[in-house]
Amino acid sequence: MNDHSPAETRREPLDAAELHLIDRYWKAANYLSVGQIYLLDNPLLREPLKSEHVKPRLLGHWGTTPGLNFIYVHLNRAIRAHDLNAIYICGPGHGGPGMVANTYLEGTYSEIYPNISRDTAGLKKLFRQFSFPGGIPSHAAPETPGSIHEGGELGYALVHAYGAALDNPDLVVACVVGDGEAETGPLAASWHSNKFLNPVSDGVVLPILHLNGYKIANPTILGRMSDEELRSLFIGYGYEPFFVEGEEPAAMHQAMAATLETVAHRIRAIKTRARESAELHGRPRWPMIILRSPKGWTGPKEIDGKKVEGFWRSHQVPMSNVRGNEAHLRILEDWMKSYGPDDLFDEKGTLKPELAALAPEGSRRMGANPHANGGLLRRELKLPDFHTLAVEVKEPGGTIAEATRVMGVYLREVLRLNAEERNFRVVGPDETTSNRLDAVFDVTERVWMEGIEPYDVHLAHEGRVMEILSEHLCQGWLEGYLLTGRHGFFSCYEAFIHIIDSMFNQHAKWLKASRELGWRRPISSLNYLLTSHVWRQDHNGFSHQDPGFLDLVANKKADTVRIYLPPDANTLLWVTDHVLRTYNRINVIVAGKQPAPQWLSMEAAANHCEAGIGIWEWASTDHDGEEPDLVMACAGDVPTLETLAAVDILRQALPNLRIRVVNVVDLMTLQPKDVHPHGLPDREFDGIFTTNKPVVFAYHGYPALIHRLTYSRTNHANIHVHGFQEEGTTTTPFDMVVLNELDRFHLAMAAIDWVPGLAVKAAHLRQQLRDKLTQHKLYVCEHGEDMPEIQEWSWPYKTAANAGD
Amino acid sequence: MNDHSPAETRREPLDAAELHLIDRYWKAANYLSVGQIYLLDNPLLREPLKSEHVKPRLLGHWGTTPGLNFIYVHLNRAIRAHDLNAIYICGPGHGGPGMVANTYLEGTYSEIYPNISRDTAGLKKLFRQFSFPGGIPSHAAPETPGSIHEGGELGYALVHAYGAALDNPDLVVACVVGDGEAETGPLAASWHSNKFLNPVSDGVVLPILHLNGYKIANPTILGRMSDEELRSLFIGYGYEPFFVEGEEPAAMHQAMAATLETVAHRIRAIKTRARESAELHGRPRWPMIILRSPKGWTGPKEIDGKKVEGFWRSHQVPMSNVRGNEAHLRILEDWMKSYGPDDLFDEKGTLKPELAALAPEGSRRMGANPHANGGLLRRELKLPDFHTLAVEVKEPGGTIAEATRVMGVYLREVLRLNAEERNFRVVGPDETTSNRLDAVFDVTERVWMEGIEPYDVHLAHEGRVMEILSEHLCQGWLEGYLLTGRHGFFSCYEAFIHIIDSMFNQHAKWLKASRELGWRRPISSLNYLLTSHVWRQDHNGFSHQDPGFLDLVANKKADTVRIYLPPDANTLLWVTDHVLRTYNRINVIVAGKQPAPQWLSMEAAANHCEAGIGIWEWASTDHDGEEPDLVMACAGDVPTLETLAAVDILRQALPNLRIRVVNVVDLMTLQPKDVHPHGLPDREFDGIFTTNKPVVFAYHGYPALIHRLTYSRTNHANIHVHGFQEEGTTTTPFDMVVLNELDRFHLAMAAIDWVPGLAVKAAHLRQQLRDKLTQHKLYVCEHGEDMPEIQEWSWPYKTAANAGD
């Protein structure tokens, strides 16, 4: 706040010539924006506008667009004046026409889409394609050059901007936040991201809060707040706000140009000061801009006697029924002509050279900046040899380990190997340690730009672990980081990942649409570890118990999503290594953090995970070459433990029962091959699950997911799934599985019930199991912990099995 | 800010005697909190503490609890001093032990749970039950008297508080917001709820931001911000912040008491001024309190040489392994004895009378306030006779109407009938008009406490429609409103309801747990209209297209959730009326807002909706008493339209094909009877869907949901579902269904493919259908709208069918 450079005193930095040029460029962008919404033909209005030139269905949003165009042209000027390396995040995604118009004007659009040429024919196509079948969507989208942000669902512009700026010390991320979006929860929290931005090693986020005052049919909260309250709010958030307010174009151009000059100097001063003595200064007070301009600025002031400019009626298409209403047609023509198209485009329909010269050049153009097509900049991660980190498992069940703790060591090595590249981050809502990933703190810290006390641990300005109690911000930061070509990992309590369901949906949609665009280069996958999962919420209880995120994930396109349920540490290691090598996917891993028996050596784990599903011969008893009587299948660590314990019971009591144990790591193997690329062919599926034998399937989450994945399989009618039945509280680990009938006793009883003839033969065993459940209940209510035989159980057949039992 | 009453000058309002009493009461609450976390027995430490007195598994959270207790005891004082009608919302739900302790001390706990008596035996049970199998959860929960808020998932405390305060002009909702929770998005936006609170007709929310500085393993953002920035932030949010900071108990008691005096006077002044001249004043600047106190306050300062009090190590259980560590056992004993239990409880273990006298009496006790058990106050809504609002439908397809517009008229009548009771609100994210519910503005307005301009429409301080661009706030306000015994309705764009997935989950869990408690009275259902749905996102495209919320809903307990897909306006009317009569449920209605053909008269609609599913005889051709060749089933308005159009094609081309048309309104009818109370018995299901004929099922959402609901039905293998395949963009309505193969042509082709023998017989028709799809593509890409034959299609058999065709 103390760097009042001389430039700040120039309140009118534009001379008349530059002012005129900038205003014309803005008019060109506005003209193209209106044209996209309305016109099929006659793009430069070189003949009188007729109804057949107008689209039959008028779709799109005008209201926010002129403001977005205004910002774009001024950012262009700042880029040229200060040689900025900048990208533009368009929070008001409805302003798609503006983003398209500007990238067209600067030339990037035609470079990417050569059919949209810089002439009258190209203009016609540009207009026609917008919101038109076979054309482009109405929002800023993957199709839009220079965008890393689809504006459809609001709330994530600023957090994407911060994610993009991390570890890009020379990048300026200009982020327009609409006053509608500013009302959302995620956006309201995103302002605090400044507490995590290191002025030395990260780039700059320049938030531009665009107050045009209205949403669809309401004023906005921030738009109606006084400047005094707004100033106070943003100072409170840690920024230095600059106001640009008005509607008279010339004055507004001067004010915006002057403010961007001031802001550029502020930023330079902050960066310089930080580089000179990073340790002396904490978080700087970054500048931000509050732009108040009319909604639908420069559009029709009134239509049919009703206020349009400066009001919510300009939100979408200001006039409908243009084809059928001659008066509306004339308003449209006058409106578009008010921009003076002949003063903007030459005879061929090409932007006049003195205007074209205003845009930055090459990759300095915001539509061509490679950071907005992050795959161009992406470098492969260096990954450790995970075999060296494996847990030694000599015999199934013979080792106890915490799976995620082992994973933490792997992540530590990833951080170490890529420390120089600074292209890998771990995010989580204050749970990295709780989730047992704290080995990462051997090589890095949590990033923290606020004060650090002597007794604080693992906090540093330079940390690569990002923790905030907001799943929204974790997700958004990581998305922004990945979209700009880097890598990352998100660990989260399983239940609370639902908080970002909708962000997950939107990212999956972005990936799906990006895949279909050749020019968008692949980005790293978004990788989740869901832990502290439903079965082990000892400290928390019912509110923390929900395994339903996987159901949501399974709805998305098969080429985008993967779900892994590694049963132990070595399988988790393999899966972690695997997902970090993939791109354009969303990988979800579910694994527990509690001490648990380990089943597979690293070699066995690798073989098992490669297949994604497999028969565990060492636990099975169908070694005689005949079909089993029963398949006991499991997916997830706790279900695997309970299944093996149930098999143990059955093997002891019914030694002649032929049991096949199947474990599923990659849930997508259950789907048919034509539905998912990981799906098992029916013949293989039948080979594993048989065509007619009962399958008792212990699954980590809601049973319905297994049914829907397998519904078309031959043996589906015989698959009996045990999983989470929405029963939970604060209780012992084993009581949780009992409440949901996923425990060894219920699984063993299910086996007895479903194998033909066994109900009679094993009636006594069944009663014993029932009694065990009663014993359990009495014991836990008395002692508050599980029976010793439950706590101490481990797989007993390890040596016998190896000996060929 | 100008009401400096004399009381504000009393900086030390407590005399020595009162200070001592208050401090002892606080110690009693802290003592009971520690006891719950640690002790099985010896509750008053009247014998030396031994390891067997300690729980084997130590679960719970100490860190936040002493601060919560401190607030509670001071609120008790304020309630008595000012005869306040107050409830306490405990944002830090981890502080469950504190809420339990305080409601026990004030006597409400033992009134509700008589086995937890106010003596030594009761204390022992109180301690033992906490986080113990068969006992109570560790968080503030439905089991906790006086709570309307489960603290497990953070972010919603303040928005619940505002929902509770609406239309309760005499209620004070004290809401503790932890500094962890304050980092979440929903909470960060919730502060703006003050823009919707009417000082005349609504109650008061008193936010108490509790900065104890730490989360699980990190400092908090707000905790490390300077007072200057905090003050600025909350002034910016529109509050008048008061700071209470320190750790020395006596000084803190004086400061808190003084601040609550000031705050009470501020509130009274605001209410008085507003009542005197409501129109002259806009939003008042409500007071709020920022309390900085040490995490784990009064607990052990250090354990094993590490800082605990005032640091995150006190977050959960400060010392683990107390049974096995004699030193820890002694620390625990010293810690608990530091509260002086013998000075607090008499020989029988009952709170000493001079302390008990500090609590308010009767329903003024926060644990006994009926607003926190809203069903006690709930009055039935007055509902209009919906038959009078029906759309006239003389013949199927003979009327065009917008279903949600008709619903809007119904909601208007509900608002009108209950205007005096002020117990019904409509919430939505700026979409009430967009969703065609604007008839409600005939009788009310949108509530808006900021400035109102002359050209604004439907804004008023007194409005009953609440709009903010935050699904989180809409959901949270409504939850708070319902939980305190009122009624409401949430309309939302379908895709963006995923934003509140996790809030939905938590509310469903609250309802499930509440049901099991006899003393919690039923509350009104949470009712959603999802509209602007996946099939009609003409203005917006792919980011706005997601029907997956229903998959999430279907995971929840069958006694809690209902899903309705009314195919037209009259069925929507019936369903709307129905859901407003229900309680303790979450009802989800999906219905479109666009002009569409109407199928059923009100009488037919009522019969159809009563059953929830039915054969549409008038569209079917299996009138010969034999089984049909084919079932064409549909659920959802657009699928119904496309199914009927497909049936039209088939009937014309293949007059001998016996087609049965089935429409599903209540999706839960598809589930087996033993899974959901609305499920059809298998025999009825088989009667409708046959046991072996092909079923082409056109469904509104992701096809997998139909498979999982029906997987155990006899004919499941023959059910072929068409639905959303995650293909979308900005295009024409019909092109959207084509992209997902839900259109009439694909449905008719599916019929041909699945009816045995028809593929050959109808090969020519099949080719025609294929050609139609090509024609469609060419037409929309050329014209930008759907072919006239698509736009103009309506059900043609209406008269012929009535004539017995």
- Given the candidates 3.40.190.10, 3.40.50.970, 2.40.50.140, 3.30.530.20, the CATH classification of the domain at A386-595 is 3.40.50.970
pLDDT above 80 (res A9):
no
Q: Looking at CA atoms only, how far is residue B474 from chain A in angstroms?
A: 11
Q: Looking at CA atoms only, how far is residue A693 from chain B in angstroms?
A: 16
pLDDT above 80 (res A7):
no
Cβ contact, residue pair B220, A469, below 8 Å: yes
Q: Looking at CA atoms only, how far is residue A675 from chain B in angstroms?
A: 11
Amino acid occupying residue A434: S
Query: In this complex, how many residue pairs, one in chain A and one in chain B, have their CB atoms less than 8 Å apart?
Result: 359
Strand order through the sheet with B459-460: B459-460, B446-447, B465-467, B424-428, B487-493, B526-531, B586-590, B561-564
Fold of domain A6-372: Rossmann fold (3.40.50)
Contact A728, A545 (CB under 8 A): yes
Nearest to B471 by CA among B408, B401, B528: B528
Run of H or E including B661: strand B659-664
If DSSP codes are grouped into helix, strand and coil, which group holds residue B428?
strand
Q: Looking at CA atoms only, how far is residue B390 from chain A in angstroms?
A: 28
| ipTM value | 0.96
pTM: 0.97
What's the half-sphere exposure (Cβ side, CA atoms, 13 Å) at A100? 35
What DSSP line would sit under B228-289, residue for residue? HHHHHHHHHTTEEEEEEE-S-HHHHHHHHHHHHHHHHHHHHHHHHHHHH-TTT--S--EEEE
Backbone angles phi, psi at B577, to 5 degrees: -60, -40
C-alpha A476/C-alpha A461 separation (Å) is 20
pLDDT at A278: 62
What does the mean pLDDT of chain A come to? Answer: 94
Cβ contact, residue pair B556, A446, below 8 Å: no
Would you give the end-to-end CA distance of chain A in angstroms?
78
> Which of B470, B493, B544 would best serve as a mutation to test chain A binding (most A beta carbons within 10 A)?
B470
pLDDT above 50 (res B481):
yes
pLDDT tens digit sequence for A45-93: 999 999 999 999 999 899 999 999 999 999 999 999 999 999 999 999 7
Q: Looking at CA atoms only, how far is residue A241 from chain B in angstroms?
A: 13
pLDDT at A3: 43
Higher pLDDT, B432 or B800: B432
pLDDT tens digit sequence for B373-416: 999 999 999 999 999 999 999 999 999 999 999 999 999 999 99
Chain A residues whose beta carbon lies within 8 Å of the beta carbon of residue B188 = 185, 188-189, 191-192
Average pLDDT over residues A738-756: 97
pLDDT at B294: 97
pLDDT band with cut points at 50, 70 and 90 for residue B176? very high
C-alpha B743/C-alpha B407 separation (Å) is 27
Residue of B138, B469, B712 with shortest CB distance to A730: B138
pLDDT above 80 (res B122):
yes
Cα separations (Å) of A114 from A102, A351, A358, A375, A718?
16, 16, 22, 21, 56
Chain A residues whose beta carbon lies within 8 Å of the beta carbon of residue B493 = none
Question: Taking CA atoms, what residue in A is nearest to B509?
Answer: A543
pLDDT band with cut points at 50, 70 and 90 for residue B4? very low
Beta strands in A293-431 (DSSP E): 302-303, 306-307, 399-402, 424-428
Chain A residues whose beta carbon lies within 8 Å of the beta carbon of residue B540 = 138-139, 152
pLDDT at B587: 98
pLDDT at B94: 86
Chain B residues whose beta carbon lies within 8 Å of the beta carbon of residue A711 = 707-708, 711, 716
Average pLDDT over residues B191-210: 97
pLDDT at B799: 43
- Given the candidates 1.10.10.10, 3.40.50.620, 3.40.50.920, 3.40.50.1100, the CATH classification of the domain at A615-791 is 3.40.50.920
Contact B208, B174 (CB under 8 A): yes
Residue of B433, B450, B726 with shortest CB distance to A224: B450
Question: Taking CA atoms, what residue in A is nearest to B718?
Answer: A712
Rg (CA), chain A: 31
C-alpha B569/C-alpha B574 separation (Å) is 9
Chain A residues whose beta carbon lies within 8 Å of the beta carbon of residue B468 = 183, 221
C-alpha B409/C-alpha A661 separation (Å) is 59
What does the mean pLDDT of chain B come to? Answer: 94
Contact B72, B366 (CB under 8 A): yes
* Three-state secondary structure string covering A310-350: CCHHHCCCCCCCCCCCHHHHHHHHHHHHCCCHHHHECCCCC
Distance of CA B304 to the CA centre of its chain: 44
Q: Find all residues with CB under 8 Å of B116, minimum gap 6, and list them.
A: B104, B109, B110, B122, B125, B126, B129
Pair type for strands A459-460 and A446-447 = parallel
Instruction: Tell me the two tokens of residue A505.
Output: 């949906």
Average pLDDT over residues B246-260: 98
Cβ contact, residue pair A221, B192, below 8 Å: yes
Nearest to B101 by CA among B369, B362, B345, B293: B345
Residue of B430, B555, B730 with shortest CB distance to A704: B555
Chain A residues whose beta carbon lies within 8 Å of the beta carbon of residue B505 = 495, 498, 546, 548
- In chain A, % of residues over pLDDT 90: 90
Contact A88, A371 (CB under 8 A): no
Run of H or E including B571: helix B569-580
Residue of A215, A552, A557 with shortest CB distance to B726: A557
Chain B residues whose beta carbon lies within 8 Å of the beta carbon of residue A561 = none
Beta strands in B355-395 (DSSP E): none
Chain B residues whose beta carbon lies within 8 Å of the beta carbon of residue A468 = 183, 221
C-alpha B358/C-alpha B338 separation (Å) is 21
Average pLDDT over residues A395-415: 96
Question: Taking CA atoms, what residue in B is nearest to A217?
Answer: B430
Domain boundaries, chain A: 6-372, 386-595, 615-791
Residue of B138, B183, B513 with shortest CB distance to A540: B138
Run of H or E including A768: helix A763-783
Contact A608, A573 (CB under 8 A): no
pLDDT at B745: 98
Higher pLDDT, B623 or A226: A226
CB atoms inside a 10 Å sphere around CB B532: 26
Instruction: Tell me the two tokens of residue A251.
Output: 């004055």
Chain A residues whose beta carbon lies within 8 Å of the beta carbon of residue B557 = 726
pLDDT above 50 (res B801):
no
Comparing B386-595 with B615-791, is the CATH topology the same?
A: yes
Distance of CA A660 to the CA centre of its chain: 39
Q: Looking at CA atoms only, how far is residue A358 from chain B in angstroms?
A: 32
pLDDT at A94: 86
Nearest to B544 by CA among B529, B530, B533, B552: B533
User: Burial level of A334, CB count in 10 A (0-12/13-18/19+)?
Assistant: exposed
pLDDT at B623: 82
pLDDT above 60 (res A671):
yes
> Which of A158, A502, A515 would best serve as a mutation to test chain B binding (most B beta carbons within 10 A)?
A502
Cβ contact, residue pair A555, B540, below 8 Å: no
Instruction: Tell me the two tokens of residue A459.
Output: 């906090």
Least confident residue range of A189-203, A729-743, B278-292, B415-429: B278-292
Question: Taking CA atoms, what residue in B is nearest to A781?
Answer: B133
C-alpha B466/C-alpha B460 separation (Å) is 11
pLDDT band with cut points at 50, 70 and 90 for residue B718? very high
Q: Find all residues with CB under 8 Å of B458, minimum gap 6, and list them.
A: B441, B445, B446, B465
pLDDT above 80 (res A493):
yes
Residue of A132, A311, A470 with shortest CB distance to B185: A470
Contact B659, B679 (CB under 8 A): no
Q: Is the dihedral of CA A54, A60, A61, A67 positive or negative?
A: negative
C-alpha B675/C-alpha A739 separation (Å) is 17
**Across the strands, what pairs with B777?**
none
Q: Looking at CA atoms only, how far is residue A66 from chain B in angstroms?
A: 18
**Across the strands, what pairs with A45?**
none
Residue of A217, A238, A542 with shortest CB distance to B430: A217
Chain A residues whose beta carbon lies within 8 Å of the beta carbon of residue B60 = 539
pLDDT above 70 (res B797):
no
User: Burial level of A237, CB count in 10 A (0-12/13-18/19+)?
Assistant: buried
Residue of A137, A307, A781 with shortest CB distance to B133: A781
pLDDT above 60 (res B1):
no
pLDDT band with cut points at 50, 70 and 90 for residue A151? confident
Nearest to A540 by CA among B453, B94, B244, B570: B94
Q: Looking at CA atoms only, how far is residue A453 from chain B in angstroms?
A: 10
Nearest to A523 by CA among A575, A582, A588, A465: A582
Q: Looking at CA atoms only, how far is residue A501 from chain B in angstroms?
A: 6
Cβ contact, residue pair A726, B139, below 8 Å: no
- Which residue carries 């026990």 as its tokens? B104
Average pLDDT over residues A558-587: 97
Nearest to B175 by CA among B372, B415, B398, B405: B372
Question: Taking CA atoms, what residue in B is nearest to A474?
Answer: B184
